[in-house]
Amino acid sequence: MTNSSRIKIPFNKPFIAGNELRYITDAVITNGHTSGGGDFTQKCHSWLVRNLCGSAAFLTNSCTAALEMSAILCDLRPGDEVIMPSFTFVSTANAFALRGARPVFVDIRRDTLNIDEMLIPSAVTPITKAIVPVHYGGVACEMDMIMQIASANGLFVIEDAAQALLSTYKSKFLGTIGDIGCLSFHETKNVISGEGGAILINNKMEHNLVDKAEIVWEKGTNRKAFVEGSTEKYTWVQLGSSFLPSEIAAAFLYAQLEYAHEIAHSRRRLTSLYLEILKPLEDSGFIKLPQIPGSDFNSNGHLFYLLASNIRERSNLIDFLARRGIMAVFHYVPLHSSPAGRKYGRVAGDLPVTDDISSRLLRLPLYFEMKDNDVEIVSEAVQEFYTG
């Protein structure tokens, strides 16, 4: 028997909304348009602008690509520093290191596992150019304070909202608060297109970011102005890359976006159920559960985790669940302790919370089509591990 045939409850199950193939057929056969920038790309842009309230949006091939595009837009270069958490995916740092800028790693808060905003001021130096808050699991960073620090020091804020589509902070959608926001539609996220992402440009006043984004998105050319007839020549005008996805990916994504609210709603409900069933284990001191920071924070239920007491207990719990056909996984290896993180980045102070949490965090299965009964089975298996 293979490992996968023994899995009864997978960690993730990509949800297919139903219209994906029909929309792809519409794009390819009816519209006869497979490369980027067609009707479905426009539909996705409009959906993002309408549903997230007003930002300019551009689909990208991934959130990684959106972050890389943001590094070009903010003109990051060697000699610049960018503040971010170490507890994040490699793309958060890679995007800026690729431009020669140095990631500066700051510790996280114990409650949200997001960058500790109180530690940011002491990480700011005369060469700091940007702050990249990462909204872990779809729960918001403390954006008011982060925006204040940025404005006091003339820094860009680039939200890594890879996991945060439709989450809010004080009723504002994540990804729309900073100058730029980056979303992911990778198949592990709430809304998917295989690989996919989007960049939201929120700062329309300074730096001409929207105009610049049109060019960077189109491989550094003024193709948009040419298509609109405002220039006679279509030429290379600045650095850019092939950030726009094909219509095939955009058509798939549009079918998913139509379900985005239902998906977030269902995942929030499953998260609440986990919290309710596992609460007695937390009360007895066996585990720690995610803390809900308060009514200013509304998460999209992207992921559910618990904290074991130590790394050995976590490994034993993963094995115990696997023997019952339940797949649970840990998360990031902190970037400051990775070979590339040491080479390209620096730490701002010590990162005791990051080191501690990353060794104890365990993510439990969570996906749109998960049944309440599945949550009960997983939670009961966790209870059995701790209390026999």
- Shortest Å distance, C-beta 98 to ligand PLP: 13
Window contacting ligand PLP (CB under 6 A); options: 70-78, 107-115, 158-166, 378-386: 158-166
Using rule CB under 6 A, residue 160 touches ligand PLP: yes
Using rule CB under 6 A, residue 314 touches ligand PLP: no
Member of 12, 88, 266, 271 binding ligand PLP (CB under 6 A): 88
Q: Which two tokens stand for residue 257?
A: 């976006």
* Contacts of residue 1, Cβ cutoff 8 Å, sequence gap at least 6: none
Yes or no: say if 179 and 49 are a contact pair by the CB < 8 Å rule. no
- Shortest Å distance, C-beta 115 to ligand PLP: 11
Q: Which is nearer to ligand PLP, 134 or 381 (CB)?
A: 134
Yes or no: say if 180 and 158 are a contact pair by the CB < 8 Å rule. yes
Q: Which is nearer to ligand PLP, 26 or 195 (CB)?
A: 195
Q: Side chain identity at 180, as an amino acid letter? A: I
Q: Which is nearer to ligand PLP, 183 or 370 (CB)?
A: 183
- Shortest Å distance, C-beta 309 to ligand PLP: 25
Yes or no: say if 325 and 6 are a contact pair by the CB < 8 Å rule. yes
* Contacts of residue 15, Cβ cutoff 8 Å, sequence gap at least 6: 192, 256, 259, 263, 367, 368, 369
CA dist., res. 309 & res. 281, Å (int): 12
Member of 114, 163, 167, 379 binding ligand PLP (CB under 6 A): 163
Member of 12, 55, 92, 379 binding ligand PLP (CB under 6 A): 92
Using rule CB under 6 A, residue 178 touches ligand PLP: no
- Shortest Å distance, C-beta 242 to ligand PLP: 15
Q: CA torsion 301→289→131→65, rounded to 10°?
A: -40
CA dist., res. 21 & res. 125, Å (int): 50
Site string for ligand PLP, 26-65 (x = CB under 6 A): ------------------------------------xxx-
- Shortest Å distance, C-beta 135 to ligand PLP: 8
CA distances from 174 to 17, 65, 179 (A): 23, 18, 12
| Other Cβ atoms within 10 Å of 234 Cβ, number | 14
Using rule CB under 6 A, residue 174 touches ligand PLP: no
Q: Which is nearer to ligand PLP, 64 or 190 (CB)?
A: 64
Window contacting ligand PLP (CB under 6 A); options: 87-95, 206-214, 301-309, 377-385: 87-95
CA dist., res. 328 & res. 306, Å (int): 11
Helices (H), the chain: 3-6, 20-25, 39-51, 63-73, 90-97, 143-153, 209-217, 223-227, 247-257, 260-283, 311-323, 339-344, 352-360, 372-387
- Shortest Å distance, C-beta 259 to ligand PLP: 19
User: With CB under 6 A, what is the number of residues at the site for ligand PLP?
Assistant: 14
CA dist., res. 167 & res. 169, Å (int): 7
Window contacting ligand PLP (CB under 6 A); options: 69-77, 115-123, 160-168, 351-359: 160-168
Member of 27, 134, 281, 307 binding ligand PLP (CB under 6 A): 134
Using rule CB under 6 A, residue 12 touches ligand PLP: no
Q: Which is nearer to ligand PLP, 157 or 281 (CB)?
A: 157
Yes or no: say if 31 and 38 are a contact pair by the CB < 8 Å rule. yes
Q: Which is nearer to ligand PLP, 119 or 134 (CB)?
A: 134
Q: Which is nearer to ligand PLP, 62 or 300 (CB)?
A: 62
CA distances from 277 to 38, 283, 285, 377 (A): 47, 11, 15, 10
Phi/psi at 281 (5° precision): -65, -35
Residues near ligand PLP, by CB under 6 A: 62-64, 88-89, 91-92, 134, 160, 162-163, 184, 186, 197
